[in-house]
């Protein structure tokens, strides 16, 4: 390369560098300090605690608290969906995998039951997992009805539970045809069922009915052909 050509190339490189250096610098946005889960990168989360810098500003501290609460709420759904996937994809192995963790299987089963009863497409972002658990035993159209009411009215979980009890009480005044089933089960199994019903915030008979309804729906969906399901 000739000396003139060399100087010309160097001049072009220097000019390009000058334009970049003199041009507008990108502004640092607030969320550039966040990690993938939305936590401020200055916060150091660990399994047994959270460490924050001494001069952590109030607004950032407040926003961090909201995000931690959101993650805690979301993790319940994550665990429920995780177990549903394991049950369906690894039917012969998922229980052994859970035993190797510190997760409580019965608690996971409760999460999974709600997650299975209310798919992601019908969950309400503004309502807690506990809101959804209150209506999980209802048919899908009634779930949507009560979740819409709770969301629009900004109801607490306790308010939603009270409204459901009032509605059930009004329905109970009507004479509805029923039948009785007698189940003979070991005492140990009865205690497990009672614990599950308490965790789901339901009377034991309502919990058993909801579990049987869910099992029946899955059984029908597995045995019916696509044409039958479309009818």
Residue 125 to residue 145: CA distance in whole angstroms: 15
Are β-strands 49-51 and 44-46 bridged in parallel, bridged antiparallel, or unpaired?
Answer: antiparallel
In the chain, what are the domain boundaries?
A: 60-117, 124-172, 180-215
Portion of the chain with pLDDT greater than 70, in percent: 74
Portion of the chain with pLDDT greater than 90, in percent: 35
Mean pLDDT of the chain: 77
User: Per mean pLDDT, which of 21-35, 120-134, 173-187 is the most reliable?
Assistant: 120-134
SS3 40: strand
What pTM was computed for the model?
A: 0.57
Under a CB-based contact definition with an 8 Å cutoff, are residues 88 and 126 in contact?
no
Under a CB-based contact definition with an 8 Å cutoff, are residues 196 and 109 in contact?
yes
Across residues 86-104, what is the average pLDDT? 85
Joined together, the tokens standing for residue 4 give 């003139």
Q: Above 60 in pLDDT, residue 169?
A: yes
Residue 25 to residue 19: CA distance in whole angstroms: 11
């Amino acid at each position: 390369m000739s000396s003139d050509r060399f100087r010309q190339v160097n001049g072009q490189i220097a000019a390009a560098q000058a334009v970049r250096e003199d041009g507008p610098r990108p502004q640092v946005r607030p969320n550039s300090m966040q990690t993938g889960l939305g936590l401020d990168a200055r916060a150091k989360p660990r399994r047994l605690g959270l460490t924050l810098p001494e001069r952590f500003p109030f607004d950032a501290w407040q926003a961090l608290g909201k995000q931690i609460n959101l993650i805690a709420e979301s993790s319940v759904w994550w665990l429920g969906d995780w177990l549903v996937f394991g049950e369906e994809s690894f039917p012969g192995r998922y229980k052994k995998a859970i035993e190797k963790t510190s997760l409580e299987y019965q608690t996971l089963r409760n999460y999974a039951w709600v997650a299975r009863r209310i798919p992601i497409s019908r969950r309400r972002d503004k309502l807690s997992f506990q809101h959804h658990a209150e209506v999980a035993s209802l048919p899908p159209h009634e779930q949507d009805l009560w979740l819409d009411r709770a969301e629009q009215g900004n109801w607490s979980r306790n308010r939603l539970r009270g409204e459901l009890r009032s509605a059930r009480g009004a329905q109970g005044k009507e004479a509805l045809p029923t039948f009785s089933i007698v189940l003979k089960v070991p005492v140990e199994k009865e205690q497990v069922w009672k614990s599950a019903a308490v965790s789901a915030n339901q009377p034991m008979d309502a919990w058993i009915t909801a579990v049987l309804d869910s099992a029946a729906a899955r059984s029908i969906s597995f045995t019916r052909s696509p044409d039958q399901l479309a009818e």
